[in-house]
Structures are given as structure tokens and as C-alpha cells.
Structure 1
Amino acid sequence: MIIVTGAAGFIGSCLISKLNQENFNFIIAVDDFSSPEKERNLTGKRIQERVHREEFFAWLDQNYQEVEFLFHIGARTDTTEFDWQVFEHLNLNYSKTIWQKCIDYQIPLVYASSAATYGLGELGYDDNESLIPQLKPLNPYGESKNEFDIWALEQERKPFFWAGLKFFNVYGPNEYHKERMASVIFHAYNQICQTGEMRLFRSHHPDFRDGEQMRDFVYVKDVVDVCSFLMHHRRNSGIYNLGSGKARTFLDLANNTFRAMGRESQINFVDTPADIRDKYQYYTQANMGKLRSIGYTKHFCTLEEGITDYVQNYLLPGKTL
């Protein structure tokens, strides 16, 4: 059995698809399953059992001998949530219990961290574990992810294999339910469908022209490929960046979305809201050298390749992965 927490969500459901493609069909899907909208993410997938996240630890105590691997993808990911107790329960304490169970039951673990831990990137975007305690996330979500990374590194007892993945700006199928937290590509597609144009934030930084703010956008198919690699590799435990390794501008993103939809670009700029201007990231780019150094050689989708596949094979037909 392979466990996937956050199974009905964006990355978790895409990971189950990847596992099914590799003929792993005894999947334990862990989530709260309270959102009817997310139900379509699991339609057609081969799942052995669904377990509510609040019942999961009791289930694991009874069934651990059959578990081969655990992907802990579930988390509260809303960067606009400021109730620390939510993050303390779901992102910190829940993850600590999973970590302890993986030690007790000898289960290898991959868990989701986040590039939100890097804050404004004052120390760069290198997954150097010695720098992690010095990072300054910009919101409680990023703080919760960084606190768990710090806690994990401090532990004397660790799972025999474990990896934390700092996801950068992930986009792709099955994110439709994320509303404000969905990728810019998803929002671009819907804006273009509804209005024929795309709105981008104006730059308020002297070093960046309008639309030339840059992010590391990584396609979800690449994310789940890396998860699969680590499940088979099971060596070189630690915390790894997971981006494309190439920063691209929002203009690149918008123009490629128009192109994939077969439309002429029509882009308008609006002021970045005043309440987020001082916390706005103008540049992110994952240093992917550490993952490459342990043997991951697969090509990461370019922004052009990822957007074309996402728009033409999933958004236009209304499909999930």
C-alpha cells in the first residue's frame, strides 16, 4: 500500500494518477473529503481505501505492516489565512505525528514543504539545509512549513528515508477548486475566456518593468515525476527544491496562455494591492543542483510546453488528470 495525504487536492490527486500509471493500485487516500467539488479529482482513479485525515493515525496503527511508502502532501496552503492555530494543527502537529509514525513503523516518507519558506529571497533560493533556520517567510503558511523543516532537521531520530520538497509555483490540472490559491495560469485562462484579456500586476519596483516580475513556474507532471523518483531512489534523505530551475516573467506566462488558446494577446496592468506590495516577490528561481546531484536527470517542462499541455489537453476540454 502507498499512502497519499491530501489525496483529493491538486498535487495529491495528480500523484495518485502517476502512481496508477506505474501500476500502483493499492492507494490509501487520506483527506477530509468534505468538498463535493474536489470529488472529481478522484473519479476514475484506482484507490484501495479512503481514510478521513482525523481517523488516519488510528488506521495506520492497525495497518502499518502493509504500508510501503507515505506521501504527505496534505496541508493548509492558504497564504491569506492568518489563524496560526489552523497551521499549527494541520501543518505542524499533524506532520510531526506522521514523522513519528514513519520512524516507529519503518515507513519511508516524502512530505510537502514550500518555496514560501524563502520569503523575499534575501538568502537566495538554494536548498542548503544550514540556511533554513535563517529564512524569513512572509506569512503564517510559509512560517508553518519552515518551522516543520527546522524541526525535522533537528530530530535525532528520523525515518530511514525521508525527503521534504520545497514546491515552487506549481500549476496544472486538478487545481480548479483552489479559488484564489490556484495558479496564475488557471486564472489567466478564465479571465481570457470571460473578458478576452488578461490583467497583470503593475511593477512597483524600480528594477522590474510591468509584467517582468519573475517566478519559477513548475508543471505538476514534473512534480509527481520527482515524487516517483524519490520513492524508487530511497537514498540521500534531506530537503530539496522542486521548481523548474528557470525563472520566467508573467508576460511570458500571459502570452503563452493566449497562444495556447489560439488568441491574440490583450494584456492590461493594474496596481498591485497596497496591502501586499511590501510582501510581493519579484523574483524566485529554484537552484535544482541538489536534486540533480542525486541522479534525477529527467527534463523539466518549459513554460511553453507546460502551458500548452495544460490548456489544450485539460482546461479547454474540461478534463482532470
Structure 2
Amino acid sequence: MADRVLVTGAAGFIGGRVAEDLERHGWDVTAIDLRAAPGGRTLCGDYRGPELHDQVRSGRFSAVVHQAAVSDTLQMDRALLDAMNTSGALALAESALVGGATFLYASSFSVYGRIRHDSPVAEDDVHDDALCSGPLNPYAESKLALDRAMIDMTDRGLLWAGLRYTNVFAAGERLQGRASSIISQILTKAARGDRIDLFADTMRASRDYVPAATVCAAVRGLLDSDFTPGVYNLGSGHATSFGDLLGWCAEFGGGRPADVRLVDNPIPDRYQYWTCADVSKLRAALPGWAGADIDVVRGEAEAVFDHARRALAAE
């Protein structure tokens, strides 16, 4: 019998990709979300529900991949963020401990806040004020609170990993406003010839973009290995500026420049101008993990652009 895995947040972009990837590689996947997913393969329900916890505690699942969360980085309701992103996730980790399941969960690269250098950021940098500011909003605070609380689970015997995703993207992503990856928003608008609004002070700002397939491979690799519990950065390890990204758009479009309008940045004090993950810890845990070099990132970006252009032609 295939190993059983519970994937929460499976109607979301990353959760859905992870669930599909695990099923494709032979796992018996139970997928759950508050929303229905395309195809009807996701159970509708709250991951905090007692019946689901009873199943986890019973040992039904050999692994839990927890992707459910409030993902709006501008959400200011701290009680909601704690319930969904921190205390709710900790309760699920407790159930996984009782049931003997490996527990992987989605953390966030936003926990580092304003990074005070221009080199890849390591996991321990979040503890050094000289290297980064720490969380810039309640969303990031809720993720870092979970990361810190999970440390106690190691001594209690839980095999767990918190994955600090950078900017995950892929062709075919359903754009959902600001919840969508910024790179997919830009590439799609450029392919369609739509205007792109960018903050005027961010043309040299850089982001670490990582293809969803790279994330799925890392999740699968961790579930198949005896890794050291802890928090792991999960990105490409490359920083691409918005200027370079717009250059890619022009190349993909046969030389046509994107229609860009520069607007004032309303949140300069809460804006991450640089994200680039040091993924050496994850590479050490997963020697067979290919990661994503800059050519892989650029190739996936071109696939997003082409997908958007084909969709426009089909309208």
C-alpha cells in the first residue's frame, strides 16, 4: 500500500501543486481545504477540525504537509493570523507527533524582513538584528512565531521541517490579485500587453523566484529522507531584479518593451527590497535535490509568458 499523506491548503497554488506531485509519485494523498479545488479532488473542511485531528492522531497518515494559512501579507487581524498560521498549525503538529507522522509546513521568507546586506540569507540570520530587521507585518510575525515554537517539538521526537518559501511560481498559475506571485503577474500582463504598475523605488529591487516544480521536488525529497528537524530556506538562491525581469519580458515578446507605469510606494518601511535564499542547508539535507539555477528560473518564466500569450490568443 502507498504511504498516506495529508496535504492541507490543497486548493491553493502551492498546496495543489504539492498534492498533485505526491500523488503522481505514488503517494496516497488526502487533500483538504476550506475551498473546493478544480476537479473536485479536494475535501472541503477546516484543517483544525476535530475529526481530521483524530485521523492524524490515529496514525492513518505517515506524513502531513501543512500548506493551509492566511496568506495575505497585508492582513492585520492578529487573532485570525494566530488561529490559522500559528496556534492552529502547532495543534496539527501535536497530532502528527501522537500519530507518528512526519510534519512539513509552509513558513515564509518574509520572516527576515528588511535584509541589511546583498548576499544570500541563511536561516539563522533572522536572529541577528545586524543582518535583517525581522518581520515587517503581522503575517510574517505569525510565521516566525510558529518557527520558534516548533523548536520544542524536536526534543519531543517529531520529525518536522518548516519551509521558508521565497517567491514560488509556475506556468498555469491562476492569478488571484495580490495573492498571486508578483513574477506571474508581471509576465502575464507583459504577454497580454497590459499596463504594469511598479513602485518607483523598486526597479533595482530583487526577488528570489523559485519554480513550483523545484518546491515539489524538495517536499518529496524530505518525505523520502531522514533529515534533521528544523527550518529550511526553500528558494532558487538567485536574486532577479525587476529591471532584469522586464528585460526578460521584452526578449520573450520579440523585443517589444513592457508597458510600465511607476507609482509611489505606499509602504516603503514595510517593503522587502531584497530577497535571496541561502539554500545550502537544504542541499546538505537533500544531496539529490537539483534545486533551480538561473537558467531554470528563466525557463519557467518564459513558460509563464508563453502560457499567458496562448491564453490571450484563445480568447
* TM-score bucket of the superposed structures, by smaller chain: 0.7 to 0.9
- Residue 275 of structure 2: which of 284, 287, 293 is its match? 284
Structure 2 letter corresponding to 1:125: V
Q: Give the Cα–Cα distance (whole angstroms) in 1 for the partners of residues 128 and 156 of structure 2.
A: 18
Give distance in 2, aligned partners of 1:309 and 1:276.
Answer: 31
Q: What aligned pairs does 1:2-151 form with structure 2 within 5 A after superposition?
A: 2-24=5-27, 26-33=28-35, 39-40=37-38, 43=39, 47=41, 50-53=43-46, 56-62=49-55, 64-122=58-116, 125-128=121-124, 131=127, 136-151=134-149
Matches within 5 A, 1:159-238: 159-173=157-171, 175-203=173-201, 211-238=203-230
Greater displacement, 180-189 / 8-17 = 180-189
- In structure 1, which of residues 295, 312, 321 is the aligned counterpart of residue 286 of structure 2? 295
CA distance, structure 2, for counterparts of residue 155 and residue 62 of structure 1: 20
Correspondence for 2:305: 311
Q: What is the CA distance between 1:52 and its match in structure 2? A: 0.8
> Does the C-alpha gap of structure 1 residues 158 and 301 become closer, same or farther in structure 2, counting only changes over 3 Å?
farther
| Matched-pair identity in % | 25
TM-score when normalising by structure 1 = 0.84
Give the drift of 1:254.
2.1
Question: Aligned-pair distance for 1:235?
Answer: 1.9
Amino acid at match of 1:246: H
Q: Given the two structures, how large is their TM-score scaled by the length of structure 2? A: 0.85
Q: Please state how far the C-alpha of 1:55 moved relative to its aligned partner.
A: 6.2
Q: Deviations over 1:91-136 (max 9, x none)?
A: 0111011110011111101101001100102487211288289962
**Which one is further off, 52-61 or 216-225?**
52-61
Q: Match for 2:258 among 260, 266, 278?
A: 266
The answer to whether the Cα contact below 8 Å between 2:197 and 2:263 also exists between their aligned partners in 1 is no
Q: What is the RMSD computed on CA atoms of the aligned residues?
A: 2.6
- Report SS of the residue matched to 2:81: helix
Cα distance in 1 for partners of 2:298, 2:121 equals 23
Residue 59 of structure 2 aligns to a residue whose secondary structure is helix
Question: How far apart are the structure 2 equivalents of 1:88 and 1:20?
Answer: 30
Describe the shift of the 1:263–1:68 C-alpha distance in structure 2 as closer, same or farther (beyond 3 A). farther
Question: Unpaired runs of 5+ in structure 1?
Answer: 204-209
**Which of 239, 245, 260 is matched with 2:237 structurally?**
245
Q: Which residue in the other structure is 1:207 paired with?
A: none
Which amino acid letter does the alignment assign opposite residue 29 of structure 2? Answer: I
The size of the alignment, in residue pairs, is: 300
Distance 1:54 1:200, change over 3 A: closer
Task: Say whether the 8 Å CA contact 1:30–1:56 is kept in structure 2.
Answer: no
Instruction: Supply the distance in 2 between the matched residues of 1:19 and 1:261 (Cα, whole angstroms).
Output: 34
Runs of 4 or more above 6 Å deviation: none
- Conserved? CA contact 1:75–1:90, under 8 Å: yes
Distance 1:73 1:174 in 2: 19
Q: Is the 8 A contact 2:111 2:126 kept in 1?
A: no
Kindly tell me: are residues 16 and 311 of structure 1, through their superposed partners in 2, closer, same or farther at Cα, counting changes over 3 Å?
Answer: farther
2:212 and 2:100 mapped to 1: Cα distance?
28
> In the alignment, is the contact (CA less than 8 A) between 1:68 and 1:107 conserved in 2?
yes
